[in-house]
Structure 1
Amino acid sequence: MAGYNNNNEGFWKPSSASSTTDEGDVAPVFNFSTAPLAQQRMLLPIYKHKRQILYSVEKFGVTVIVGETACGKSTQIPMFLYHNGWCNNGFQIVCTQPRRIAAQTLAARVAKEVGRGPLGAEVGYTVRFADRTSELTKIIYATDGILLREATLADPLLSRYSIVIVDEAHERNLNTDALCGLLKKIRRKRPDLRIVVCSATIDAEAFLDFFISKKDVEHTRKQKKRRRWDNAEPDTQPKLSTNNLNEGCIISVDGRLHEVDVLYLGHPTSNYVRTSVETALQICKTSRNNRGCGILCFLPSASEVDEAIRMTQDHLDEFEPGLANQIIILPLYAQLPFNMQARVFRSDTPGSSRIIYSTNISETSVTVPGITHVIDSGMVKLPFFDPKNDFDRLIVVPISKASAKQRSGRAGRLQAGQCYRLYTEEYFRKKMEEATPPEILRTNLSNFILSLKALGVNNILGFDLLDLPSVDALSHGLESLFALGAIDDATALTTIGQDMSSFPTEPRISRMLLESLREECSREVAGVAGALQVQSLFLTPRGSSARRQQLQIDYEAAVGEFADNSGDHVTYANILQAYDDTHMGREECKEKYVDYVALQKVIEVRNQLLGFLKRFGRVRSLGMATSKERCDAILRCVTAGFFFNVAKLHNDGRYYTIRGTNQILVTPSSSSVFNTHGSHADYIVFCNTHDGSRGGIELTAVSAINPRWLRELAPHYWK
């Protein structure tokens, strides 16, 4: 591997000072991260806006706060409001986050700063499959999906909250858009509810116009005018608040605590993974005499994170002898269990350098300590849904300017740093999009529509949204829900649909779980559903190039102990059954190439899903059923939820979807047991699709099925 010369050959810093961080305060001379917490809080740029924020929230119904990355929005604003009495009289403050890890780490940080009890006391979090709150909790960090579910199932008016803070609003995922529409609707019934919208890169005017329409503002002004002029019966007139609750304001928090120098490539790179690794190793080499460094490298997907880690391990000593002993290499992506994600937030051996290869999970909210350098590949993997072909796709695309700004800010949260952008400045200025397209314009809307139906929204087009989805996407979402039995001919929610909306899973998995009650295999199917929430239950063989071939042989032999020739879903059930029977420990799992941490997560999810299922029927296990009976029962449940995703083997030896006749690939790169241990099958069902590295649509979670089940389980869909 060719290395860079000292001074990072290939990069240059724009002479025009195009860094996004020239504005702002100069970093203090002392080490910010080791200063007392109270002093750290006072040094944050958000602190000097404290009075302005409190006044605006008191006076206006909606406050939009636009602040630089690392200014302290996510941690300080909830505490400002808490200490100013917004949690009195039994109320709580909730701050939503787009990702679980952000909600969990922010809650831990704020609990430490509040200093009155452990996490889960006054400050806690609620995310999917995890709840650290209590009766004492006043500040709650939650994912936006969890708050949406709370409004759907328990409290339509969110009456226990005095303030809802929508953080990182620029991400515009489905749950964020639905939550914003719901909050606008709730404010008509609860004008006292305060909404605070926060981000570093949003169109503040657009968000304010969404929540505060001109009609609302004009109505408020007319009421005030009438109240001043009409004194005929003052005691019987409604007493209007002096607060402008039907109006809003925008607060701009200028400045950054620490500067970040932005450097661009002089010429485009043909391999951003390799260039990322080379750049990271060069930074480590030049920083080895400077007490180490912290490098956060953004890559599009988990597979590329793993590839970069293997490449780094293979070339550490080749790059410079002895460097391997001074570097800690860590992955960070959403599919990792939380305790593995949390490793990047721990302090490591002083003097050592850290290289963290991450997806865009660390782009917003979370603060990874000790980061001095960011390497931005300029790429991200985003979900796109093709309603015409019925495919969920994960496509690697260039990031937007908003994302680039967020990424560079990761290097300036705790100290001054540098950001290496693996693209040219000309590309950034002239060709990069301003913002990432909102998720509502590019993903499957089935779950979104089901959530709105459960909220009592009958006319989806009449629901207030920041962006309206396409007719094709809405039509497909409604058709999917109808096929699953969640809505009727009039698009009204059915009993099954109401039950499906109670699960913290997408509609297809919810339908699969409900079918397990009839097949009397709920324990096994809940385990399969849990396995679909993690990237893989098997450990990927890692090691030097010389050992990798032998490791691969050992891996395939270990997988063979659990593999079922039907494919992946029954294999998942076999792994969980083996754990239940023998209680495999960490070392035994490692010997069998089973990911112990992922397995624990699957079991945790399984147990929670079984708790949901108990509301709708008796939870059973297959017990003494024969192997074929067990296999058929599990796969019938999978087919009940995923009958959209069925393919047939054609005469050319390839699989084509039944509806649409699109060719799909079951290849080694899909890491499917069906590919390595499965038997010949004319029909298969699959749970996930993605764009293959060599083109085409590839599959994960694949199993052979009996085609007769399709007409039995979804006859209306196959007419």
Structure 2
Amino acid sequence: MSASTYTGNDGFWKPSSTTSARNKTDSNAPVFNFSSAPLAQQRLLLPIHKHKRQILYSVENFGVVVIVGETACGKSTQIPHYLMSNGWCDNGFQIVCTQPRRIAAQTLAARVTKEVGRTLGTTVGYTVRFDNKTSENTKIIYVTDGILLREATLTDPLLSRYSVVMVDEAHERNLNTDALLGLLKKIRRKRQDLRIIVCSATIDAQAFLDFFNAAETTLNIGTIISVDGRQHAVDVLYLDKPTSNYLRSTVETALSICKLSSKNPKGVNGEGDILCFLPSGEDVDEAIRMAQEVVDSQDPTLANHLVFLPLYSKLPFNMQARVFQIDERDKHKTKRRIIFSTNIAETSVTVPRITHVIDSGLVKLPYFDPKTDFERLIVVPSSQASAKQRAGRAGRLQAGQCYRLYTENFFLKLEKATPPEILRTNLSSFILTLKALGVDNILGFDVMDLPGVDSLSHGLESLYALGAIDDDTNLTVLGMDMSSFPTEPRVSRMLLESLREECSVEVAGVCAALQVRSLFLTPRGGSSAGRQQQQLDYESAISEFADSSGDHVTYANVISHQDDRRMDREECSERFLDYVAIRRISEVRDQLLRFLKKFGRIRSLGMATVDEKRKVILKCLTSGFFFNVAKLHNDGKYYTIRGTNHILVSPSSSSIFHTHGSHAEYIIFCETHDGSRGGMELKNVSAIDPRWLRELAPHYWN
């Protein structure tokens, strides 16, 4: 469809047969501007406020309190506030609130800091991977659940400095959340004074309470409190027929809403911002490019009133933070925002000023197949619970609208909830964490859902091959060292190997590069001739850094060049390098090196030759990723050594191995995904010497 297809009531969109009428309001009525009210008044208007006394009473009298409340009801910011004001931070105790994502921990800490009128890092702070804003006086700490697990692993097994642990967004059920819930259940047996608050945005509260009650001799150690979160009704509209291109439909629907609003600013389309849910960061970037191209070529006047913003996990914090920053004093001059986001905006964080949601109905989730050893990020339909969460983003300020880019019949066939991560991902990190916590019998550790035997067996085999556990599955010295890094075991092993090879600076840079989506900017041009010229310019610029072995040494070359030249944004753009990604890589590398200093002397390759540099970097890579090796067969195709699965090197222009690499006999890779041509495609690929496999992992390959 074109951007002009949608006219509001032409039969293309079909209202939901079950659209909520809760708190139904007249969409043309004056809207109270919540965000422009004084902070003290905002706090009183939050739905959580009327439950304040009930929450404080429950925390005082029960060991576990489960709170059900939608995102934006105020639970994440106000409950720690209430507890601190009522003595739970006395006698040197602190309150910790865990979040599944770092952006949530950072933005929540900033918000509560503003409410208490202090500087971030004093009374209120946060700790996330590669960033810490706390002090000895901090009373409320927002952390990712992985950070709290590492604290229990390395320094304080009983979490003795906390009076209350609040596990927020527990319904997401990622690996760290499940491990943390199991750990807290174990700690409660030793610390009856510890209070646990579990917050969920869905109605699975009884399952959480039953999980904790199962360990107690008393009949009931907890209670459930339900908080109504949505302040206004949201009209849900479906497509009459499935869309053939969710990306194009998302962009066209968003721009249609804006065009209708410009014609009728007081109508149902209002003037609020638009939040579009897409499955991946690649989709987000492509949607922004597509939207910008449409308005620039078809409606330049509309372009002056719009701003397109991305939101996904691998963006640097300063770019993520732009989505949450609105100057209400300048509201008449502020452009209307169209925010393209992954499911990071589904829960945990509240994006302000949203009145319209466009839901693609898709999400990219990690899945692991222990039979093939493939870890895959697969785009799959979201669950009904996710769809409801997404729709709820539109109902904070006024009556909103949610456009679902699928049919209502399709919605009714969706899974009720997203499968817990423990049932669908590689368990190596999970098992290593438990081993570091002193859990000898993994099967005896309490979790809400038991993983499959194949997944557990593969996780143990992987850790054994990495040298993290011994023949009796006990943690080795190397394994304990690996558990102290905020990275997956393969990357931790790679970093520790760099100490022996005396190339820690370069390898830490490569490890950091694996944490971002891409260092390179994809060439784009308007016309066919323009695209062709850009492709030639791209190949010329990249050839300066490209190494014939493939991607990983190329990353090291780019980072080394940045260290020497300190390229600014303009120079990076000229060289088709992503300036934001390179800055993020530098930050992560420096953090990794600070961790690594605890285990040995940090060295750089300095004046080493190209061949020497290539050899030691790839040997370190092989020490961690030797599982992911493929061999070139006589038919000219690559097959994994174990399992002999046919795989394809990604044809993406950002794949250095694909564009500049030689046809090596053995290759190693760091990521797999479902390819556009069918089959399994590889990312982050390099050629290696097969002799390293027997040298670095003899027990795996002999």
TM over 0.5: yes
- 2:36 is aligned to 34
Within the alignment, does 1:270 sit opposite 2:272 as a pair?
Answer: no
Q: CA deviation at 1:652?
A: 1.2
Q: Provide the C-alpha distance between the structure 1 equivalents of 2:334 and 2:282, rounded to a whole number of angstroms.
A: 29
Moved more, 326-335 or 551-560: 551-560
User: Within 2, Cα distance between the matches of 1:25 and 1:44?
Assistant: 18
How far the C-alpha of 1:321 sits from its partner, in A, is 5.0
Task: Tell me whether 330-339 or 3-12 shows the greater mean CA deviation.
Answer: 3-12
- Give 3-state SS (helix, strand or coil) of 1:46's partner: helix
- Aligned letter for 1:110? V
C-alpha distance in 2 between matches for 1:380 and 1:90: 43
Q: Distance in 2 between matches of 1:344 and 1:428?
A: 28
For 1:342-421, list aligned pairs within 5 A: 342-347=321-326, 350=333, 352-421=335-404
- Could you tell me which residue of structure 2 aligns to residue 75 of structure 1? 77
Match status 1:630 vs 2:632: no
SS at 1:548's partner residue? helix
Provide Cα deviations, 1:157-207, integer angstroms capped at 9, x if missing partner: 011111011111110000000000000000001111000011111411110
3-state DSSP of counterpart to 1:372:
strand
In 2, the alpha carbon distance for the partners of 1:343 and 1:298 equals 17
Rounded Cα–Cα distance in structure 1 between residues aligned with 2:140 and 2:535? 48
Preserved CA contact (<8 Å) 2:72 2:229: no
Aligned to 2:407: 424
Q: Which amino acid aligns with 1:205?
A: Q
- After superposition, the Cα gap between the structure-2 partners of 1:570 and 1:54, relative to the gap in structure 1 and judged at 3 Å, is same
Would you say 1:462 and 2:444 are equivalent positions?
A: yes
Deviation at 1:20, TM superposition (A): 4.5
Aligned to 1:184: 185
1:160-175 correspondence to structure 2 within 5 Å: 160-175=161-176
Query: Which residue matches 2:280?
Result: 301
Deviation at 1:134, TM superposition (A): 1.0
List aligned pairs for 1:221-620, cutoff 5 A: 247-289=221-263, 290=265, 292-317=271-296, 319-320=298-299, 322-347=301-326, 350=333, 352-429=335-412, 431-542=413-524, 544-545=526-527, 547-620=530-603
- Corresponding residue for residue 107 of structure 1: 109
Which residue does 1:45 correspond to in 2? 47
- Equivalent residue number for residue 644 of structure 2: 661
- What do the CA deviations read for 1:101-124 (whole angstroms, capped 9, x no partner)? 111111111111111x11111111
Residue 22 (structure 1) aligned with residue 6 (structure 2): no
Q: 2:430 & 2:600 partners in 1: Cα distance?
A: 26
User: What SS is found at the alignment partner of 1:469?
Assistant: coil
SS at match of 1:142: strand
CA shift digits 1:405-445 (9 cap, x unpaired): 1101111234432111112222223x111100000000000
Distance 1:125 1:670 in 2: 38
Match of 2:56 in 1: 54
1:673 aligned onto 2:675: no
Could you say what secondary structure the match of 2:304 adopts?
A: helix
8 Å CA contact 1:174–1:440 kept in 2: the answer is: yes
Q: 1:605 to 1:318 in 2, by over 3 A?
A: closer
SS at structure 1 position matched to 2:60: helix
Does residue 1:685 correspond to 2:668, yes or no?
A: yes
TM-score by length of 1: 0.93
Closer, same or farther: CA 624–705 of 1 in aligned 2, 3 Å: same
CA contact (8 A) 2:657 2:686 kept: yes
What count of residue pairs does the alignment treat as equivalent? 688
Segments of structure 1 that go 5 or more residues without pairing to the other structure are: 219-245
**How much does 1:680 deviate?**
2.3
Deviation per CA, 1:423-482: give whole Å up to 9, x if none. Answer: 2222223x1111000000000000000000000000000000000000000000000000
2:653/2:659 contact within 8 Å kept: no
Q: 1:544, 1:82 → 2: CA distance? A: 57
- Seen in structure 2, the aligned counterparts of structure 1 residues 203 and 456 have a Cα distance that, compared at 3 Å, is same
Q: Is the 1:383–1:395 Cα contact (8 Å) retained in structure 2?
A: yes
Contact 2:71 2:229 in 1 (8 A): no
Equivalent-residue separation in structure 2 for 1:607 and 1:57 (angstroms): 41
Partner of 2:119: 118
The separation in 2 between residues aligned to 1:13 and 1:351, in whole angstroms, is 31
TM-aligned CA deviation for residue 667 of structure 1 = 2.8
Shift of 1:555: 2.1
Q: Which moved more, 1:663-672 or 1:270-279?
A: 663-672
Say if 1:637 and 1:284 are closer, same or farther in 2 by CA, change over 3 A. same
Distance (whole Å) between structure 1 residues aligned to residue 592 and residue 152 of structure 2: 20
SS of equivalent to 2:43: helix
Work out the CA distance in 2 between the residues paired with 1:664 and 1:342: 38
Give, as a single letter, the amino acid of the residue that structure 1 aligns with 2:158.
Answer: L
Which sits farther off after the overlay, 293-302 or 320-329?
Answer: 320-329
| 1:107-158 per-position Cα deviation (integer Å, ceiling 9, x unaligned) | 111111111x111111111110001111121111111011111100111001
Q: 1:662-707 CA distances to partner (integer Å, 9 max, x unpaired)?
A: 0111132373111111122100111111111222111111100001
Deviates more, 1:580-589 or 1:527-536: 580-589
Amino acid at match of 1:270: S
CA distance in 2, matches of 1:296, 1:545: 30
Whole-Å separation in 1 of the counterparts to 2:534 and 2:31 = 50
CA contact (8 A) 2:383 2:415 kept: yes
Q: Which moved more, 1:627-636 or 1:590-599?
A: 590-599
Alpha-carbon distance in structure 1 between the residues aligned to 2:433 and 2:300: 56
Structure-1 separation of matches of 2:405 and 2:383:
14
659 and 698 in structure 1: CA distance in 2 versus 1, 3 angstrom threshold: same
Retained in 2: the 8 A contact 1:294–1:373? Answer: yes
Q: In structure 1, how many angstroms separate the alpha carbons of the residues matched to 2:695 and 2:20? A: 59
8 Å contact kept, 2:363–2:380:
yes
The answer as to whether partners of 1:96 and 1:166 remain within 8 angstroms in 2 is yes
SS at match of 1:717: helix
Taking a change above 3 Å as real, the CA distance of residues 217 and 548 of structure 1, as seen in their structure-2 partners, is farther
Contact 2:100 2:174 in 1 (8 A): yes
Q: Quick one: which amino acid aligns to residue 239 of structure 2?
A: L
Q: Residues 316 and 377 (structure 1 numbering): CA distance in 2 closer, same or farther, change over 3 Å?
A: same
CA displacement 1:293-341 (0-9 Å, x = unmatched): 3111001111221222222122225554522222111211111111111
Higher mean alpha-carbon deviation, 372-381 vs 665-674, is at: 665-674
Q: Which runs of 5+ in 2 are unaligned?
A: none
Letter in 2 for 1:48: K
Deviation at 1:551, TM superposition (A): 2.5
Q: Secondary structure at the match of 2:518?
A: coil
Q: Quick check: 362-371 or 391-400, which moved more? A: 362-371
Judged with a 3 Å threshold, the aligned counterparts in structure 2 of structure 1 residues 549 and 354 are, in CA distance, closer, same or farther, namely: farther
- Are 1:8 and 1:282, in contact at CA under 8 Å, matched by a contact in 2? no
User: Counterpart amino acid of 1:302?
Assistant: G
Q: Indicate if the aligned counterparts of 1:528 and 1:572 stay in contact, CA closer than 8 A.
A: yes
Are the counterparts in 2 of residues 367 and 413 from structure 1 also a CA contact under 8 Å? no
Contact 2:97 2:166 in 1 (8 A): yes
SS at match of 1:550: helix
State the alpha-carbon separation in 1 of the partners of residues 167 and 255 from structure 2: 38
The CA distance in 2 between the partners of 1:177 and 1:110, in whole Å, is 26
Question: Is contact 2:652-2:658 (8 Å) kept?
Answer: no
Within 2, Cα distance between the matches of 1:548 and 1:337? 29
Contact 1:446-1:477 at 8 Å conserved across structures: yes
Name the SS for the 1:328 alignment partner: strand
